[in-house]
Amino acid sequence: MNWQKPGSLTIQAIETEAIRVPLNRVYRGSKYSMQNRCTIITRILTHQGVVGEVYTGDTDDEQPVILKIIHDELAPALVGMDVFNTEGCWEAMKPATYDILRDRGVVMQAISAVDTAIWDTVGKALNMPLYRLWGGYNNVLPMTAIGGYYGQTRDELAREIADYVGYGVIGMKFKVGGATPEEDLERLKVAVEVGGPGFRLMVDANQGYDLQQTIRFVRLAQGAGIDLEWFEEPVRWYNDKRWLRDVRLATGLPITAGQSEYRIDGVRDLIEGGSIDFCNFDSSWGGGPTIWRRVAAMCSMYGVKMAHHEEAQVSAHLLGSVAHAAYVECFHRDRDPIFWDIQTERRPLKDGYYTISDQPGLGIELDREYVKRYKVS
């Protein structure tokens, strides 16, 4: 006889849909490029009729592998479990990370998708938005755009910046690291000019510079009177923890990193090494909201502020739940049509600030026709 605790909500099945939207051009960062915007829809079905449904991640080539892990390994471990036992559900998925012969980061993306859907189910069952369930500190957050990709003329770059001003974001994170510091400074000046007074600027090299290039770029920007909020992932991966610290000490500019860490111990080392001022750990890469919230608690003890690498549909709730949050991020509509178009509800952005949905869970209501159009068969 199967005994069920009163109030439990048991997982019946997990469903997924892969989405791939072709973009109108190639978007190039310092050392990477992309021409599709992708995501995975994950759906939790419960015996009691409550359904959680989210979309997370931006991985393209690895989509089939992530879907296979969800269906072959995670779903069998979770069926019959109570979604309110979020810790137990995460522990049930953890053995999928033990295989040392495959990319553990891809496994963590699969876990992230399911963990996010589990939390959405919990919020819907309680009829409560997740930012309130997780702490409810703030439902209005400053929003910045991510842009300044390579391969544009000066006029095209200026039009992109003007679009962000038109969106009403409070500022932008500008791509550097794919050219010399001198060339990148000239590109950044376009954002300064078009954005105008009060338009906040960060820069993101995606690990494209070495230590000396980073310091040279910062000093050039400071010499030009450009006030930067932070420098994100300025240096290359193979000595980043020490070099991030060195950039902080040499320039005085706040440093952001963490998105490339899918392991919580990697974030711990960034914090304890004095490498960062902001942590932009990505819940869709690093194990879902369950792990992001642990990272946020750790950062709060060290005076490190929390950010989140893109994924505004999830990150807004996470950032809104804590007192030490920075910006929620979006892309240009051409760069990320999924965020702007896959949901039926509007994007409440005014005077630089984004208002979090008060609908239960993550408040996501998908446009079924959009999903049907871009679903990967």
pLDDT of residue 7: 72
pLDDT of residue 377: 85
Residue pLDDT, tens place only, 27-67? 999 999 999 999 999 999 999 999 999 999 999 999 999 99
Helix, strand, coil shares of the chain, percent, nearest 5, are 40, 25, 35
pLDDT of residue 4: 43
* 3, pLDDT greater than 90: no
Compute the average pLDDT of residues 172-199.
Answer: 98
* 219, pLDDT greater than 80: yes
Compute the average pLDDT of residues 314-328.
Answer: 98
Residue with tokens 């000093």, as numbered in its chain: 219
Residue pLDDT, tens place only, 61-115? 999 999 999 999 999 999 999 999 999 999 999 999 999 999 999 999 999 999 9
Compute the average pLDDT of residues 182-198.
Answer: 97
Give the span between the Cα atoms of 228 and 172, in whole angstroms: 10
- What does each C-alpha distance from 70 to 22, 107, 125, 276 come to in angstroms? 24, 9, 23, 33
pLDDT higher for 6 or 300?
300
Residue pLDDT, tens place only, 135-169? 999 999 999 999 999 999 999 999 999 999 999 99
* 270, pLDDT greater than 60: yes
Answer for the pair 42, 14: CB distance below 8 angstroms, yes or no.
yes
CB contact set of 191 (below 8 Å; sequence gap of 6+): 148, 157, 161, 172, 174, 199, 201
pTM of the model: 0.96
Single-letter amino acid, residue 292:
W
User: Domain residue spans in the chain?
Assistant: 11-126, 132-364
Do the first three CATH levels of 11-126 and 132-364 match, i.e. the same topology? no
Residue pLDDT, tens place only, 330-348? 999 999 999 999 999 887 8
Fold classified for 11-126: Enolase-like; domain 1 (3.30.390)
- CATH of 132-364 given 1.20.80.10, 3.20.20.120, 3.40.630.10, 3.40.1000.10: 3.20.20.120
Give the span between the Cα atoms of 86 and 298, in whole angstroms: 19
Mean pLDDT (the chain) is 96
Compute the average pLDDT of residues 309-320.
Answer: 97
Answer for the pair 233, 204: CB distance below 8 angstroms, yes or no.
yes
Compute the average pLDDT of residues 185-192.
Answer: 98
